[in-house]
Amino acid sequence: MGHWWTRNITEPGKLPLLLALSSFVLTFVITRIVVRMIRAGKGPFGNVEAGGVHIHHVVPGVVLTVIGGFGAVASGRHGFGSAAFAVVFGIGAGLVLDEFALIMHLDDVYWSEEGRKSVEVVVVTAALVGLMLSGFLPFGVNDLTEDELQDRAGVIVSIGLNFLISLLALSKGKARMAIFGVIVPLVALVGAIRLARPGSPWAKRFYRRRHRARAKAQLRAYRHDRRWAGPRRKVQDWIGGKPDPEPVRSLPGGR
C-alpha cells in the first residue's frame, strides 16, 4: 500500500488533487445534509442572514475558491502549503457548485426543478477529477508514447483532433459525452458518431431536409429519455433531496 501510494500519488504530485477532490465531495455531502435539516426544521442549524439579506453559501465558497486557487498556484505541487490550499480550494468549489443553479439562473432555485442542475454539475465534476486522478489527461495526451510526446507537431495534431471530436459531440447535443470525451476521447467519438439529439445545432443544420433522420433522432431521444429520466431523477433526489412541488397554475377565468 505504501509503495502504491508513493508511486501513484506522492511522486507524480497528485496529493493536492486527491485532497481537493476529497474535500470537494465531503463539503458537498455535508452541505446537503445541513440544508436538508434546515429545510425539515431539525437540528441546530439555520439560514445565515445579515441586515435582512440571506447569505447563500456560494458567497464564502467564492472567497475560499479564490484563496485556495491562488495559494495552490503559488505553492506548487509538493509541500504542506500545496496540500492545505488544495483542501481550501476543494471546500470552496464544493460550496460554489452546490449552488451552481443559483448562479446560472440568478435566482434562488435551490429546491426547484432547476436546482437539480447543481447536483448534476457536482457529480460530473467529481467524476472528471476522479478520471484525472486515475491517470487520464485531457484530449488523450496520456495515450501518447514518449516518442510521440517529443514530437510537438504530433501532440498538437492529436490534441486538435480530439478537441474537434468533442466539439462535434457537443454540436450533436451530447454535452455529457463531450465533457467526458475531453478526458476519455473514445467517449466523445461515440457521441460524435451517433445521431444528433433533436434541437441540437447539428440536427437543425443537417436534419432539416432529412425527414427520416429527423424522425429517427426524435424517436431515439424519446426512448432514451423515457428509459433514463426516472432513474436519473431518483438518484438526484437521493443525493440532493427532492425539489419542492411546483405550484398549480389556474387557467384564465379561474378554471
Amino acid code (one letter) for 98: D
Element (DSSP H or E) covering residue 50: strand 49-50
Of these ranges, 23-37, 96-110, 185-199, the one predicted with the greatest mean pLDDT is: 23-37
Q: Is the pLDDT of residue 41 over 90?
A: no
Q: Is the pLDDT of residue 111 over 80?
A: yes
Q: How far is CA 60 from CA 80, 99, 189, in A?
A: 23, 12, 39
Residue 251 and residue 80: Cα distance in Å, rounded? 62
Residue 77 and residue 61: Cα distance in Å, rounded? 22
HSE on the CB side for 214, CA within 13 Å? 12
For the chain, give the number of residues: 255
Q: What is the pLDDT of residues 83-107, one digit of tens each?
A: 899 999 999 999 999 999 999 888 8
Q: Is the pLDDT of residue 146 over 70?
A: no
Residue 255: its pLDDT value, please? 40
Helix count and strand count (H, E) for the chain: 12, 2
Set of cell numbers at residue 29:
455531502
Band the pLDDT of 144: cuts 50, 70, 90.
low
Residue 52 and residue 64: Cα distance in Å, rounded? 24
Q: Which of 133, 29, 197 is nearest to 37 (CA)?
A: 29
Q: Which of 189, 161, 191, 196 is nearest to 176 (CA)?
A: 191
How much is the pTM?
Answer: 0.77
3 state DSSP class of 43: coil
Q: Which of 161, 177, 180 is nearest to 169 (CA)?
A: 177
Residues near 201 by beta carbon (within 8 Å), at least 6 away in sequence: 171, 173
Residue 109: its pLDDT value, please? 87
3 state DSSP class of 46: coil
3 state DSSP class of 251: coil
Set of cell numbers at residue 53:
439579506
Lowest mean pLDDT among 77-91, 93-107, 138-152, 223-237: 138-152
Residue 253: its pLDDT value, please? 47
Cα R_g (the chain), whole angstroms:
22
Residue 106 and residue 146: Cα distance in Å, rounded? 47
